[in-house]
Amino acid sequence: MKINSISLRFLISLLTIILVTISLIFAKGFLIPICFGVLVAGMLLPLVKFLEKRGINTTLAIFLSIFFSFIIISFITIFFYYQILQFTQDLPVLKKHFERFVLNMSSVLNNKFGVEYSEQTSFMQSKFEHFSEYLSSIVGNTMLFVFSALGEIVLVLVYVFMILEYRLQIKFAFLHIFNDDFELTLENIFTNIKNVMKGYTTGLLLVAFFVLILLFVGLSLLGIKHAIFIAIAGAILNVIPYLGISSIASFSALYAYLLYDSSFKAISVLLLFIAVHALESNILTPKIIGSRLNINPFAAILAIIISSYIWGIPGMILSLPMTAVLKVICEELEEFKAIAFFLGDLPKTRNKGKEII
């Protein structure tokens, strides 16, 4: 009878996980903006509450918080704009080295493989035509993506405003759904989620700072121009796991090769980014963000991988805070404390003389 009861509970848990996963996949267009809205609202909540304590109206405090965020983003955008203008000064050198690279490759193909220059020219022209068509399609798709992303950003901002404006109503609505005996548990869940959002924001900024310092020092030692710009871009794009850091790494390696006409510098830059990414993804993020969210490194890495399969890049960005919220909820519910134990750190005190495994 006991075995049948355990089997039934396991079957129910398995079916629940399957149904939740299917729901997350099919409703991602609706859920992803809401989750980002909750995440951004949690990040802005301390600033909103600070302004409210200074006697500022809640609605105005929310607008000021969002406006302050836009100011920071605007400063970063202006900085990138002027750095890109500095990059344009290197274009003559980049063009000269690129032309030399093409000529060298052409000579190698002619001398080593017997490919005539006329054949190479014909081949390059045909490929250039295909590339131009491909580039046009890429530009069109990029424009569609940009407009779609702008729409999503506006939707997220609407959610952010609504969540912050009506946060008390949302909280009391949840409290009224359940009976009075569960009220204290819900209060603890809301308090812990607020602390989790604060810890995540702090941890994210710390990881970005360490990535920036490591990239800046490494690029400076290699003698790469615009090291601070590349380091800041790497720290910001690192928020997009794998894709962000790989994009800036590829650009930096190509830039180093064309500017200095040196394979050594290009390979060194690429190895630097690989090393920093390995350090960030396997040590910094699990330890700094994971420890502030009280999530162990194994659970953090597992959450990133699973979330990437379900929601792609947005899932990877949301994986850690969502896992932390899940852990907070499981900690307060007796039936799910085993999940919270799996996600969290091991207890600091263990029974002496007993081995875990």
Radius of gyration of the CA atoms of the chain, in A: 26
pLDDT reported for residue 278? 87
Look at residue 312 and tell me whether its pLDDT is greater than 90.
no
pLDDT reported for residue 350? 47
Task: Please give the C-alpha separations between residue 221 and each of 87, 214, 225, 283, in angstroms, as whole numbers.
Answer: 20, 11, 11, 23
pLDDT reported for residue 302? 84
Task: Summarize the confidence of residues 119-141 as an average pLDDT.
Answer: 57
Which of 241, 222, 219, 221 lies closest to 232 in space, CA to CA? 219
Helix, strand, coil shares of the chain, percent, nearest 5, are 90, 0, 10
Least confident of 77-91, 140-154, 317-331, 341-355: 341-355
Is the model's pTM score more than 0.75?
A: no
| pLDDT > 90 fraction of the chain, expressed in percent and rounded | 9
Look at residue 214 and tell me whether its pLDDT is greater than 90.
yes
Residue 185 to residue 115: CA distance in whole angstroms: 75
As a residue count, the chain comes to: 357
Q: Which residues of 145-157 are buried (b: 16+ CB within 10 A; e: fewer)?
A: eeeeeeeeeeebb
- pLDDT one-digit tens code per residue, 24-48: 888 888 888 898 888 888 888 888 9
Q: Who contacts 272 (Cβ-Cβ below 8 Å, separation ≥6)?
A: 215, 218, 219, 222
Answer for the pair 235, 212: CB distance below 8 angstroms, yes or no: yes
Look at residue 345 and tell me whether its pLDDT is greater than 60.
yes
Please give the residue that has the higher pLDDT: either 221 or 350: 221
pLDDT band at 275 (very low <50, low <70, confident <90, very high): very high
Look at residue 203 and tell me whether its pLDDT is greater than 80.
yes
pLDDT reported for residue 349? 47
Least confident of 12-26, 114-128, 223-237, 248-262: 114-128
